Amino acid sequence: MSLTLNSQQIEGLNVDQLLDAVLNESQSVRACLTCSFQAEDIIVLDFLRKRLPQIPVLFLETGYHFAATYEFRDRLASEWALNLVNVLPEKTVAEQESERGLLYQSDPTACCQLRKVAPLMKALEPFDVWFTGLRREQSPTRANLQKIEQHRLPSGKALLKVSPLADWTWAQVWEYTGGHRLAYLPLYDAGYSSIGCEPCTALPADPGNARSGRWGGRKLECGIHTFSERGA
């Protein structure tokens, strides 16, 4: 799937306009949202569910999330009647740890590949459009993020990867959250600015880099958001 708009036109669209442009391109578009239930994801979900109430919400069930994340996921899934899809790795936490120990300590990149990247790439196969809550401001690794990119799966299939909040600031995220009275993960109130698996998430080491508390500073990305082609 591709759009008739060029990158400059796409960049000038606000969230509503961008979503309408993508979803109106095809009446039979198969879309999903990846959601870790962080604030940005909830905002994108709030926009999307008004258009696609039963859009599949893909949650990467690594087995290592905070208890607060699971509680928030389940509460919001119930309150919003979400079409929640828990994307599972091939092996359980117990099986992986029995075979390879605490991989998140010894080789966090391999752990992310097994428990996040590979399962998601497989789960994305049925879809034409993949919505995310990514923002450029989140990390230096995301500074060149485009609102629409072509993402090619390992199988060779291409789909549109759409990040409606790409140009939003952290202040805008919280202004929208508060203004629309959206629920949010209580971990933010404890000082976390980027929330993933519990063993690999700490308070940010650098106030200017929201993701500096991830993976003990050893890396900034799990590997999911490093393969997309720039531009639509």
What was the pLDDT predicted at 209? Answer: 62
Higher pLDDT, 178 or 8: 178
Residue 26 lies in a domain: yes
Task: Give the tens place of pLDDT for each residue, 10-59.
Answer: 888 999 999 999 998 666 789 999 999 999 999 999 999 999 999 999 99
79 burial (CB, 10 Å; 0-12 / 13-18 / 19+) is exposed
Rounded distance, CA 203 to CA 192, Å? 5
3-state secondary structure labels for all residues of the chain: CCCCCCHHHHHCCCHHHHHHHHHHCCCCCCEEEECCCCHHHHHHHHHHHCCCCCCEEEEECCCCECHHHHHHHHHHHHHCCCEEEEECCCCCHHHHHHHHCCHHHHCHHHHHHHHHHHHHHHHCCCCCEEECCCCHHHCHHHCCCCCEEEEECCCCCEEEEECCCCCCCHHHHHHHHHHCCCCCCHHHHHCCCCCCEHHHECCCCCCCCHHHHEHHHCCCCCCHHHCCECCC
Which domain CATH number covers 121?
A: 3.40.50.620
| Percentage of the chain lying above the pLDDT 90 cut | 66
Task: Give the tens place of pLDDT for each residue, 96-127.
Answer: 999 999 998 899 889 999 999 999 999 999 99
Residue 222 annotated among the catalytic residues of the structure: yes
At residue 150, φ and ψ (nearest 5 deg) are -95, 120
Residue 70 lies in a domain: yes
Which residue is catalytic, options 35, 111, 112, 222? 222
Query: What is the pLDDT confidence band of residue 221, given thresholds at 50, 70 and 90?
Result: very low
Residue 198 lies in a domain: no
Residue 38 region by backbone torsions, left for phi larger than 0, else alpha for psi between -120 and 50, else beta:
beta
Task: Give the tens place of pLDDT for each residue, 63-90.
Answer: 999 999 999 999 999 999 999 999 999 9
Q: Is the pLDDT of residue 231 over 50?
A: no
Query: What is the pLDDT confidence band of residue 208, given thresholds at 50, 70 and 90?
Result: low
Residue 99 lies in a domain: yes
Residue 203 lies in a domain: no
Average pLDDT taken over every residue of the chain:
87
**How many CB atoms neighbour CB 174 within 10 A?**
15
Residue 229 lies in a domain: no
> Domain range spanning residue 85?
7-191
Residue 62 lies in a domain: yes
End-to-end distance of the chain based on CA atoms, in angstroms? 10
- What predicted TM-score, i.e. pTM, was given to this entire model? 0.87
Residue 40 lies in a domain: yes
Work out the widest C-alpha separation in the chain, in whole angstroms: 51
Tokens of 228: 């997309």
Tally of structural domains, the chain: 1
Beta strands at 158-162 and 31-34: parallel, antiparallel or unpaired:
unpaired
Rounded distance, CA 193 to CA 209, Å? 9
